[in-house]
Structure 1
Amino acid sequence: MRSNRRIRWAAIPVAVGLVIALAGCSQQQLQGWLPTTPGTTNHVDRVMGLWVTSWIVLLAVGLITWGLIIWAAVVYRRRKGQTGLPVQMRYNMPIEIFYTIVPLILVLGFFAFTAKDQSAIEKPFAQPDVTVHVYGKRWAWDFNYIDQANVKQSVYYQGIQAQEEDNGTGAINTSELPTLYLPVGKKVKIELSSRDVDHSFWIVDFLYKKDMLPGKTNYEYFIPEKVGTYQGKCAELCGEYHSLMLFQVKVVSPAKYQDYLDSLKDQGKVGLLGNEYSTNTNQPNNVAPADAAGTEK
């Protein structure tokens, strides 16, 4: 009789797991509730695969752990009429080896798959089709579209922070948001710098985020694969109007992308907005100002 009870209690977590598995999953659940759709960039599916697989493994570990806890609590509970302490046991080597080796394998596995995907995502393009230098500044963005053949023919866009509507609702006027244009299907290299404090460049649907640090240039490499408008924001608390440091990304056809660059050139926005507009003077390797004689002040 006791054996049958143990089997029934042990079957409960297994049954719960089967019910969840057989319940079916929506597309949103299959992609782990991530805020994008498959194929948005060449990296999105890789990120979703790592995320969802990790959760499946962790849920399986959780079900086994919860099942063992419930089983031990039920099977070894104090029964009516029992007194004193149960038989004390220690140095169960098989169990101790199990709960040492299995977590180690899980950690090493997660590390290996994460390192593999990170290496693929961060691999530079040998010859990018498009290079854009993005400057983060309190609380907006500057975009330099670099002409690799002739840097002097590069064009730029100088943005302002998000403007709230006058109706008191706190809504944002999206028509005035800084907008980064990218051509679909092309290799894109993004150079990231800061003009003042720490920022973070985050295109939400691209599942790609990287810090922008004063005195350092970081890089992103990806291929946008779906035409559309995507939302971006600063993901590093950077001051009073951090919440208004928003931008948009428009992925368009190569022809429309070139038309946009031509429109910037027609507006006279030729050249680069460089470090001369940065406000942070406390950069690494700076030295004290020197007078005409070369003596530090």
Structure 2
Amino acid sequence: MQNIRRLAHTIEADGYKPITLDLHYPAGKKSLPVLIFIHGFKGFKDWGHWHLMADAWAASGRAVVRMNLSYNGTTPEHPTELLDLEAFGHETFAHDVEDVNRVVAFLKTSTWAKQEGIIDPERLALIGHSRGGAVAILAGAALRDAVKALITLASIDNTGFLWTEERRQQILEQGAVYILNARTGQNLPIYRAVYDDWWAKKDSDYNLEDKAKSLKVPVLVIHGTADESVPVEAARRLTSWLPKATLYLVEGAGHTFGGKHPYEVQELPPHTKEVIHATVDFLNKHL
């Protein structure tokens, strides 16, 4: 792979939680289109093999931003641990969409992002994994002309994916529910305010079908046929809602396309290589 450089930054502003991000780009290239990667639920930008995927996308001639959603539970000091459980317990889709908006605004206006003419923020695409796929759709609908293309990886198709009847009853009665993080053994809180926010907006701001139907840009929907977390039918529904969607199924792939955390080798898994090939082909046509 060609020489890929990485720049780290933290976006800070009064009244907001910090957003940490990494910019990957091929050395010596100028005016690169930008791809923003949005992680999923219980995820973070440094999970598993996301950094290697970003390098692969950068090698194809793009500037790639891996961002931490500010309420994901990590902190700038501890980017790979869910230690800020108060933030995690209050994460809403509105917070996440606002974070994407903040990153896009930063890329368009910051001298850091524009240094040496590396990026062309007018050519911008979003890519989101799992819950991050829904965030990408919601943010794409909000940003409108600022986003030229969009990709979902193993995306959910319902912003209410957490709210089983059992959890609904528990949070209404007790004010919180707890989600087990199988990797760390942590019981992660979700507070009543998050449920109330979703309930109030589920038919408007968080209606994924309506937001998907409003998107006018090309969208690539990627899903593994053996996804153990989000059924492949979710991808078929998303594709049916999106006016300019292409569905790409990775035969036999699970939810993370062969990745895991920690990921301690430099070679991408076969299913992830297929994802890279499909996404690069799509971006070559549309970004």
Short-chain TM bin = under 0.3
TM-score, normalising length: structure 1? 0.23
Larger Rg: 1
TM-score, normalising length: structure 2? 0.23
